[in-house]
């Protein structure tokens, strides 16, 4: 009786162990083996300016996109909490998830066309406001800006949803009693909300850092790493090496080179999750 | 005074953010109702309203959407395969993680950690080695090359979601059957599974959309135009010179409709059980 029970639990865990070994462990191990089998390729990689440019772009992307995403998630979730019994709160509550629900490629189409220099809606609005046109996709900084803009647009809703869920579970009485004592909206945010959602916030922040490191679509679809390959990050550079220059070894090494950084973040995250 | 100012500022900032959220989508919608000549004049509404772009897409009468229905069918079929596999792996693994299964604590935490690790891993970093794997086993340009890795990548999320549901079922339900001599598998199949129907629906929707919205893996694995899925084709739109953007936008909107409907029906399930512990204050 007892024995069968033990067995079924074990059998049930087999499929995920199998898929994990085949599609997570094997690729990682294989990449490490492949890139260490020819160390000169890796050394050559670390000497190339193209690689360090991509690495710099990745850092710029992370340092700008992640904080803005979370600032906006805090603002929108704050709005949803403050105005929850109000028609505005309900409208925003229904619509803020739109960018997340739409397939990335479809929204990338929308962005690409809106960012167009001559015919895009963004430049149309700028000129109507009497401002100069911005060559969004035609030079380095505007192109980086467009990538970040798209990434933020796409992923803010998801983090808003999570942080909103966290803030909803804070007992109402805490706010009421502090309001009677005459606290301001800022004080309530910094002394009640933030300390209480600290753990959730840190988990989301770390997870967002990890996933943004692997961001591929925002770069490939919005600028295609252009103009002139200046907005490559690690993921697109590796992709290009393999599929346009048929240089498998180099591509794999590029991907593996960020693994140490990502693994440190993942370790911290796992410890935080499991507590 | 200060109190109202804060609330008012929050209101203004949120309005600006929401406006910016809608702007590209609004542009997408109006462009899809424009005629070809009007596309080349930026405007806030279609000058001459037409549904011709949609008809062009549906009747496949432009060469970049010449196999629209076939590509849509490919997207759908692969999504269904990912759904079946993802739900299958997820339900079993979820059972193993949950308090319902009686396995050694070490094995249980191994399965839990394995799911957690594969959930947080940045999936694009795995793409090239998986491509090599599929190449080695000559699976490129088949459904399996896309659906197997995607099912493996979606299953940690479905596993945590399922585990949360299994945990929420009171253990008395199972105990009665256990006394009557039902084996663990019988209890799983006859008692637990029927009770988790809402969870199974949510898991299916999540896995289906995960595959439907994915771009990178189909792009790597499929290179023959009879096997394309619609996201790849839409990706190609972006690198063309003669751009009938009204037709492209109509394609994008048609492809976005199913996920939009599903997300809105099931949006409260889209937070995994993973976050449940962290969300609680």
What number is the average pLDDT over the span B134-149? 92
- Residue in chain A lying closest to B257 (CA): A102
Which of A1, A252, A273 has the CB atom closest to B128's CB atom?
A252
Outline which parts of chain A fall under CATH 1.10.3720.10: 39-274
User: Measured between alpha carbons, how far is B229 from B74 in angstroms, rounded to an integer?
Assistant: 5
**Per CATH, which fold does A39-274 belong to?**
MetI-like fold (1.10.3720)
Task: Say if the ipTM goes beyond 0.95.
Answer: no
Q: What is the DSSP letter of A132?
A: P
> By percentage, how much of chain A surpasses pLDDT 90?
48
Using 50, 70 and 90 to split pLDDT, how confident is the model at A1?
very low
* Cα pseudo-dihedral A189, A190, A191, A194, rounded to 10: 80
User: Measured between alpha carbons, how far is A268 from A26 in angstroms, rounded to an integer?
Assistant: 23
Whats the size of chain B, residue-wise? 281
Half-sphere exposure of A195 (CA within 13 A, CB side): 6
pLDDT confidence of residue B108 = 86
User: Measured between alpha carbons, how far is B88 from B86 in angstroms, rounded to an integer?
Assistant: 5
Which of B103, B155, B183 has the CB atom closest to A10's CB atom?
B103
Distance from CA of A14 to the nearest CA of B (A): 8
pLDDT confidence of residue B3 = 66
Nearest CA to A234 out of A207, A211, A213 is that of A213
Please identify which residue in the block is written with the tokens 């690689």.
A51
Q: How many other C-beta atoms can be found within 10 angstroms of the C-beta atom of residue A202?
A: 14
User: Would you call A185 and B21 a contact, using CB atoms and an 8 Å cutoff?
Assistant: no
CB neighbour list of residue B90: distance below 8 Å, 6 or more residues apart:
A16, B154, B155, B157, B158, B159, B161, B162, B203, B207
Nearest CA to B119 out of B277, B271, B280, B269 is that of B271
Best A6, A11, A15, A246 residue to mutate vs chain B (most B CBs within 10 Å): A15
User: Measured between alpha carbons, how far is A75 from A77 in angstroms, rounded to an integer?
Assistant: 6
pLDDT in tens, A127-174: 999 898 888 888 899 999 999 999 999 999 989 988 998 898 888 888
Phi, psi of A89 (to 5 degrees): -60, -40
What number is the average pLDDT over the span A165-191? 85
CA distance readout (Å), A268 to A207, A221, B108, B116, B276: 10, 31, 21, 12, 18
User: Measured between alpha carbons, how far is B208 from B194 in angstroms, rounded to an integer?
Assistant: 21
What number is the average pLDDT over the span A187-205? 89
Q: Which domains does chain B have, with CATH numbers?
A: 66-279 (1.10.3720.10)
Residue B279, pLDDT above cutoff 70? no
- Residue in chain A lying closest to B266 (CA): A101
Nearest CA to A107 out of B253, B10, B220, B186 is that of B253
On whether the CB atoms of residues B159 and B89 are closer than 8 A, the answer is yes
Please identify which residue in the block is written with the tokens 């922040």.
A205
For CA atoms B67, B73, B78, B82, the dihedral sign is positive
Distance from CA of B238 to the nearest CA of A (A): 7
pLDDT confidence of residue A174 = 86
Give the ranges where chain B is alpha helix by DSSP (H): 2-32, 52-58, 68-97, 105-120, 127-136, 143-168, 171-179, 184-187, 193-195, 197-212, 216-221, 230-237, 245-266, 273-279
For CA atoms B214, B217, B219, B225, the dihedral sign is negative
Give the ranges where A21-97 is alpha helix by DSSP (H): 26-37, 39-47, 49-82, 87-95
On whether the CB atoms of residues A148 and A62 are closer than 8 A, the answer is no
Q: Which chain B residues contact residue A197 at CB under 8 A?
A: 281
CA distance readout (Å), A178 to A175, A187, A189, A198, B182: 5, 9, 11, 19, 55
- Residue in chain B lying closest to A271 (CA): B113
User: Measured between alpha carbons, how far is A234 from A211 in angstroms, rounded to an integer?
Assistant: 13
pLDDT confidence of residue A187 = 84
How many contacts does A have with B, using Cβ atoms within 8 A? 306
Residue A2, pLDDT above cutoff 80? no
- Residue in chain A lying closest to B206 (CA): A101
Q: What is the DSSP letter of B87?
A: H
pLDDT in tens, A44-83: 888 888 999 999 999 999 999 999 999 999 999 999 988 8
| Mean pLDDT for chain B overall | 88
Please identify which residue in the block is written with the tokens 């094995």.
B107
């Amino acid at each position: 009786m007892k024995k069968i029970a033990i067995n079924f639990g074990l059998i049930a865990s087999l499929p995920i162990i199998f898929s994990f070994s085949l599609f997570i462990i094997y690729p990682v191990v294989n990449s490490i083996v492949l890139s260490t089998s020819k160390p000169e390729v890796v050394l050559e990689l670390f000497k190339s300016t193209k690689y360090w440019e991509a690495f710099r772009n990745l850092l710029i992307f992370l340092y700008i996109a992640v904080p803005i995403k979370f600032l906006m998630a805090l603002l929108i979730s704050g709005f949803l909490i403050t105005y929850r019994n109000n028609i505005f709160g309900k409208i925003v509550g229904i619509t803020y998830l739109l960018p997340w629900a739409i397939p990335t490629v479809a929204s990338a189409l929308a962005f690409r066309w809106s960012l167009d220099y001559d015919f895009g809606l963004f430049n149309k609005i700028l000129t109507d406001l009497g401002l100069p046109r911005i060559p969004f996709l035609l030079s380095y900084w505007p192109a980086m800006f467009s990538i970040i803009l798209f990434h933020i647009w796409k992923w803010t809703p998801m983090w808003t949803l999570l942080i909103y869920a966290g803030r909803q579970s804070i007992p109402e009485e805490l706010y009421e009693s502090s309001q009677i004592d005459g606290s301001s909206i800022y004080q309530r945010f910094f002394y009640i909300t933030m300390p209480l959602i600290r753990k959730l916030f840190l988990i989301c922040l770390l997870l967002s850092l990890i996933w943004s490191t692997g961001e591929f679509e925002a770069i490939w679809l919005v600028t295609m790493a252009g103009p002139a390959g200046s907005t490559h990050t690690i993921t697109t550079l590796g992709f290009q090496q393999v599929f346009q220059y048929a240089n498998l070894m180099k591509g794999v090494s590029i991907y593996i080179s960020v693994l140490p950084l990502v693994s440190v973040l993942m370790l911290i995250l796992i410890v935080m999750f499991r507590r | 005074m200060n109190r109202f100012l804060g609330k008012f500022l929050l209101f203004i900032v949120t309005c600006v953010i929401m406006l910016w959220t809608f702007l590209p989508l609004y542009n997408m919608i109006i462009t899809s109702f424009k005629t070809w000549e009007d596309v080349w004049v930026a405007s806030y509404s279609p000058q001459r309203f037409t549904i011709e772009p949609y008809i062009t897409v549906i009747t496949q009468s432009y060469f970049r959407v010449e196999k629209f229905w076939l590509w849509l069918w490919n997207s759908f079929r692969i999504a269904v395969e990912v759904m079946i596999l993802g739900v299958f792996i997820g339900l079993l693994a979820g059972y193993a993680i949950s308090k319902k299964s009686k396995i050694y604590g070490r094995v249980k935490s191994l399965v839990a950690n394995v799911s957690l690790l594969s959930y947080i891993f940045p999936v694009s970093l795995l793409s090239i080695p998986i491509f090599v794997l599929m190449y080695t086993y000559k699976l490129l340009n088949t459904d399996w090359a896309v659906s197997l890795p995607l099912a493996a990548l979606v299953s940690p999320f479905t596993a945590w979601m399922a585990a949360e549901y299994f945990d929420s079922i009171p253990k008395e339900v199972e105990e009665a059957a256990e006394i009557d001599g039902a084996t663990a598998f019988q209890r799983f199949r006859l008692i637990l599974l029927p009770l988790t129907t809402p969870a199974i629906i949510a898991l299916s929707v999540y896995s289906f959309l995960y595959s439907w919205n994915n771009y990178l893996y189909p792009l790597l694995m499929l290179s023959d135009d009879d096997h394309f899925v619609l996201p790849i084709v839409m990706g190609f739109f972006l690198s063309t010179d003669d751009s009938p953007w009204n037709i492209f936008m109509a394609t994008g909107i048609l492809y976005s409709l199913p996920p939009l409907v599903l997300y809105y029906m099931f949006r409260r399930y889209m937070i995994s059980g993973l976050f449940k512990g962290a969300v609680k204050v």
